[in-house]
Structure 1
Amino acid sequence: MDVTRRGFLKLTGLSVVALAAGVGIDPAAAQAKGYTLKIDGCQKIPSICHFCSGGCGMLLYVKEGKLIHLEGDPDHPTNEGTLCPKGASLGAVAYSPQRVVKPRRRAPGAKDWEEITWEDALDRVAEKVKEVRDATWLSSEETPDAKSGHSISYTVNRAEGIAFLGSAEVDNEESYLISKFCRVLGVPYNEHQARI
């Protein structure tokens, strides 16, 4: 049997139509069955998206300690089951092969990054924070007094050479600890990425 390309396409199209009409394939039912198989055996955990201050509700499906699926919580009053692209991509963020999971350092003048240990990274950060804090520490500030004409000295105790920029990946509890840490160091510039 010699079948041309056009004849093959006609036969394929007619076969699909005949099969769908005769068997009664329901795409919605097939999709629902696929979804059920995907989350079968998962623990459903309600959560809140932490990308912005919107507080959208999410449902996380976890199996054996690994996130299998996530979706918007339809019962949550903020988002009613929808998620923005950032919230919907949280699963990819957690298991992305491009995610950096070990500290790296690029030496001055070097072109490539080298992996270092967590101890080395923490020691390096602590040394730099101490160095900059000591170099930029301001214990008092003088301002002129309009009434007397003399300058008045105020205690300020701040390190003006350090600033902290928060992240969309930081939750409320971590933000609280970061603000406390900045106050202990005397850092007056504590900002969040959402305002910049």
Structure 2
Amino acid sequence: MKKRGQFWYGDFMIAMLVMIVIGIIFANTIVDIPQRENNLDAMIDDGVNIANFLLSDGYDMPNWRNGNGRIGITTNNKIDVNKLDEYSSLVDTNRGYLISKFLFGTDYDYVFYFEDKDGNVVNGRSYGGVARSEDLETVSALNMFRMIRIVFLDNNQDEKGEFVKMHIVLWDVGKEYTTSPRVCQNAQSFNFCGFLNELVPQYRVGCCNEWRLCGEPPTCILPP
């Protein structure tokens, strides 16, 4: 009778330990919804800031590519085609695009483009994270924020110009990941990678491939 009670107690403790492990590993997942709302609020703030930067005169244009100055593409409250061209040459490279994000003070990907009164994208291109506005349809994002400003653009520099819509879009790429960095970090911090591998092996491998936690890619062998 005593041994049977000891076995029952041992099974109970193992079950409780497993439940505690699961609870600790996945505790942070319950904040995903408010976290996403917070991310969207931050994205909106960054979107407004980027719009304000772009629609300013900016300064020190020759040093934008060095991470200095302030990006702005207007002069006298009109889009300055020369400044737009300089900005365009900056973000045409991946390094330049990252510099622009630094100067804008954002971690989010972004793009903007102009739309004329007929609904056509001016110059058939966008500026920033994607080359064309249509490419936004293929972006897999957890959050996406869009805003529109009305601006004056003399695209042909014929001193006529017109008012156009300036579309500004920001997004994050959280949806591309199959695992949560917080869950993976918890598993590694508390030495629960082995338990995670026993419970959900695919998730543990995802932690390895996506965040270099609970293993080292490309083999993703369970760490000792």
Higher strand share: 1
TM-score, normalised by the number of residues in structure 2: 0.21
Normalising by structure 1, report the TM-score.
0.23
The structure richer in helix per residue is 2
Based on CA coordinates, which of the two structures has the bigger radius of gyration?
1
